[in-house]
Structure 1
Amino acid sequence: MEQMLAARLHVPSRTLRLEEVPRPQPGPGQVLVKVEAAGVCLSDVHLIDGTLTPRLLDGETVTLGHEVSGTIAETGDGVTAWTPGQRVVLYAGEVRDGVTYTRGVDYDGGWAEYALSSADALTPLPDTIPFDQGSIIPDAVSTPWGAITVTGAVRPSEAVGVWGVGGLGVHAVQLLRAVGACPIIAVDPSEVARERALAIGADLALDSADPALRETVAAATGGVGLAAAFDFAGVPAVREQALSVLAPKGRLVLVGLTNRPLTVTDGTRFSYFQQQILGHYGSDMPVALPQLLRLVNGGRLDFARSISDVLPLSQAAEAVERLEKKVGNPIRLILRP
C-alpha cells in the first residue's frame, strides 16, 4: 500500500508526530484530495495542549488540520461532480447521520500529503485565488463571517466592537467593514494587533487595559454603546468588559473558546436593557464558503496579508510553537506538504 506523510496527534499523551501512514483510498461518495495548503489554527494548538478534546474521534490518534485546500486526486464510486485536477477547498467538517464532525478533530484532517473528503463537503476554488489564501477560508474567515452575518446579525451602520485581533478577529474587522458596520472598534492589549486592526479597516483601536475605554467607546458611539460585540479572545475579563459597553438590546457574541465560567456582574442592568449573549461556533459551510469565495474572486476581500508564513509539513511542530508563543505575531501559518 502506498504511504504518505501526516502530522498526527496522539490524544491521550498530547504528542504530535510526523508519521508515515497508508495513503487513504476514497470509498463510495468520497474524493481523495492532494493537499496543497493547510492552515495552522489556535484550535490546533488547543488540541495539542489539552484545552480541547475530540468528542467523536474513533481511536486515540488523529491527523490535525481543518483548513485545507488542494486538488482532486481520485474519486470514489458514484462520484460524478468532481474530476481529478480540480482545485478545491474542503469544508472544516462533515455531517454524518445528523451529527457534525470536525475535520482534523473528530476525523483525519489535512496536515498530510492527502486528505479524504465526502464529495459534498468541498467547493471549487477559483484559479484566481492562491491555495494558501483559499485554505484559511473554512475557519479563519468563515467562522467570523457566520458570527457577524448570522449569529450577530450585524446591520449596516451599527456600531460594533471586536475583542482579540488575532487569526479570527483580524478577519472580522475586514468582514464587518464589508457589511457596512460603523464604527468598528478593535480592542486588544497588543500594540501590533491594534496597528494591524487599523490597517485592515478598524475605525478605532483601543488597549483593553485603557482605564478610559468605556468613555472612549461612549464618545465614538454618541453615548449609545455597541450594538454588537464579538469576543474572539475567549477570555472571561474580555466578556465582562464587552458587556459593560453594550447598547440597550446589544448582542455579545462569544466566538473564542474557553472552559472558564461566564459571569454577568450586573444582572439587573443586563435584563433591564434586554441584552443578549450568543454562542457561536463555525459556520454554515455550504452557504458561507461560496459567498466568501465570490467576494474574494470579485475583489471585495483580500486575504494576502493574512498569510504570515508558509512552512513545509515537516515543520508542523515549529508552526504550532510559533503560533502558541506568538513569534512574529502571525495571523495564519500555512503548512505545505
Structure 2
Amino acid sequence: MLAGRLETASRTFAVREVPEPEPGRGEVRVRVRAAGVCLSDVHLIDGSLRPSFSGLAEVTLGHEVAGEIDALGSDVPGWSVGDRVLLRAGERCGTCATCVRFRLPCLAVRARGIDYDGGWAEYAVASHHTLVAIPDELPFEQAAIVPDAVSTPWGAVAGTGRAGPARPAGVWGAGGLGAHAVQLLRLVGAAPIVAVDPRRAARERALDLGADAVFAPDDPELPAAVRAVSGGGLDVAFDLAGAARAREQALDCLAPGGRLVLVGLTPEPLRVDDATTMTFNGQQILGHYGSLPGAVDQLVTLIRHGRLDLSRSVSGVVALADAADAVARVRDGIGDPVRLVLVP
C-alpha cells in the first residue's frame, strides 16, 4: 500500500509502498478514507517538533484519520467490518501511575502519526478503544479533522480556558485551530468574541464563523480597541498562533482575573512586562495540549445534532500520492487553508 513515511533521523519524507499492516489482539485495520494535514505534521518534517516516546527509525504520519473498518483482530468487542469510524489522535500508555492506579488523564499519551504509525496511508491499524463511530451523514473529510483541529480548541475553550456565556473571549490566530475556536466559543455562548490575525482572509473568515470583532495584530490601538469592545478586557484569551508576540499582546488585553491559554506551539520565550500588575490582577497563564478522551465523542454528538458545522473547514482535498505538495501548501500558507485533507 502507499504510505507517507518520515525518516526520523534525516527528516526525509516520501510517499512510497510499504506492506499492508495486520491488526493484532484488540486492534482493527481501517481503510483510510480521509486524513488531515496539520501544521504539526509540517513541524515533524522540518524537525522543530520531535516524538516524545518513539524510537522508530521511520513512521507513517497522520493523526487526523477517518475511514471504514476493514479487518478485525482478536478480542475486539462491539465493532464490525464496514463500520464508519474516526480515530482518536492518541492513546494511553497503560504504564504510568495515572493509567495503572487512577482514572485520570494519562501522563504519557502516545500520539498517532508521531509515536506510532498514523493514517497517511491506504490502511491504518488502531486499538479498538481509540475508535469513535461516526454517522452516515458526516463526510469522512470532515470527520477526519475532529481529532485535533476541532478537539484541541474544544478542550481549550470548554476545559482549560473555562469560557462561559456572556463572557468576552479572544482568539489570536484564526487558522486551522483558531477558526474552530471561534465557532466553539460561539457554541458555549461567549460574548463578545474577538479574533486577531495578520491575514485579511482569516479575519473575514472569523467574522463569517461567529466573531463579533476582528483586528490585525499590527494595529497600534489594538489593546484599547479590544478593551472597548469587551467592556474592560477579555475574560479569556487563546493563543492559537504559537507566536510570542501574540501571547504578549493577548496578555495586554486581559481583564482582571483573566486567563491566557497557550495552545499554539512555539519554543520562543514568553515575556511578561509587568508581573506585579499581573499578580495584583489575579491573571493566569495556562498551558493546553490536545484534549481529554471524551472530547471527540462530545464533538461527534454536537455535529450529529446540528450544533456544529464543519462544512467550511476542509479547504481542499489532495491525493495521498501528492502529500508532499499538501505539506508545502500548509507550510507556506498557500490559499490560507483551514485544513487540507489527504485521500488515498
Q: Tell me the TM-score normalized by structure 1.
A: 0.97
SS in 1 for 2:337: coil
Equivalent position to 1:249, from 250, 257, 273: 257
The separation in 1 between residues aligned to 2:250 and 2:146, in whole angstroms, is 26
Tell me, yes or no, if structure 1 residue 92 matches structure 2 residue 89. yes
| Alignment match, 1:299 | 306
The separation in 1 between residues aligned to 2:230 and 2:172, in whole angstroms, is 17
| Alignment match, 2:104 | none
| Alignment match, 1:185 | 194
Decide whether the 8 Å contact of 1:163 with 1:187 is kept in 2: yes
Post-superposition shift, 1:58? 2.5
Equivalent position to 1:264, from 258, 272, 275: 272
The separation in 2 between residues aligned to 1:221 and 1:173, in whole angstroms, is 15
Q: Which is worse superposed, 68-77 or 97-106?
A: 97-106
| Alignment match, 2:341 | 334
Decide whether the 8 Å contact of 1:38 with 1:67 is kept in 2: yes
| Alignment match, 2:8 | 11
SS in 1 for 2:109: strand
| Alignment match, 2:323 | 316
| Alignment match, 1:65 | 62
Equivalent position to 2:28, from 24, 31, 34: 31
Post-superposition shift, 1:217? 0.8
The separation in 2 between residues aligned to 1:54 and 1:327, in whole angstroms, is 27
SS in 1 for 2:265: coil
The separation in 2 between residues aligned to 1:80 and 1:58, in whole angstroms, is 30
Post-superposition shift, 1:14? 1.0
Post-superposition shift, 1:60? 1.7
Structure 1 moving runs of 4+ over 3 Å? none
Equivalent position to 2:134, from 108, 119, 125: 125
The separation in 2 between residues aligned to 1:237 and 1:160, in whole angstroms, is 18
SS in 1 for 2:18: strand
The separation in 1 between residues aligned to 2:282 and 2:57, in whole angstroms, is 45
- Cα RMSD between the aligned structures? 0.8
The separation in 1 between residues aligned to 2:230 and 2:79, in whole angstroms, is 50
Q: Structure 1: which amino acid aligns with 2:223?
A: R
Return 5+ residue gaps in structure 2 as ranges.
97-107
Post-superposition shift, 1:80? 2.2
| Alignment match, 2:46 | 49
The separation in 2 between residues aligned to 1:247 and 1:215, in whole angstroms, is 12
Q: Deviations over 1:142-196 (max 9, x none)?
A: 0000000110011111100000000000000000000000000000011111011
The separation in 1 between residues aligned to 2:204 and 2:270, in whole angstroms, is 29
The separation in 2 between residues aligned to 1:321 and 1:232, in whole angstroms, is 20
SS in 1 for 2:264: coil
Decide whether the 8 Å contact of 1:229 with 1:246 is kept in 2: yes
Q: Structure 2: which amino acid aligns with 1:75?
A: L
Q: Structure 1: which amino acid aligns with 2:119?
A: G
Decide whether the 8 Å contact of 2:52 with 2:115 is kept in 1: yes
Q: Deviations over 1:97-130 (max 9, x none)?
A: 2331000000000000011111101110111100
Q: Deviations over 1:207-257 (max 9, x none)?
A: 1100111111111122x2000000001101111100011011100000000
Q: Would you say how many aligned residue pairs link Structure 1 and Structure 2? A: 332
Q: Which is worse superposed, 164-173 or 6-15?
A: 6-15
Decide whether the 8 Å contact of 2:153 with 2:181 is kept in 1: yes
Decide whether the 8 Å contact of 2:171 with 2:181 is kept in 1: yes
The separation in 1 between residues aligned to 2:47 and 2:277, in whole angstroms, is 36
The separation in 2 between residues aligned to 1:310 and 1:221, in whole angstroms, is 38
Post-superposition shift, 1:29? 0.6
The separation in 1 between residues aligned to 2:50 and 2:331, in whole angstroms, is 17
SS in 2 for 1:96: coil
Decide whether the 8 Å contact of 1:58 with 1:107 is kept in 2: no
Post-superposition shift, 1:11? 1.5
Q: Deviations over 1:297-335 (max 9, x none)?
A: 111111111111101100000000001111111110000
The separation in 2 between residues aligned to 1:269 and 1:249, in whole angstroms, is 11
The separation in 2 between residues aligned to 1:304 and 1:218, in whole angstroms, is 33
Equivalent position to 1:211, from 216, 220, 242: 220
SS in 2 for 1:305: coil
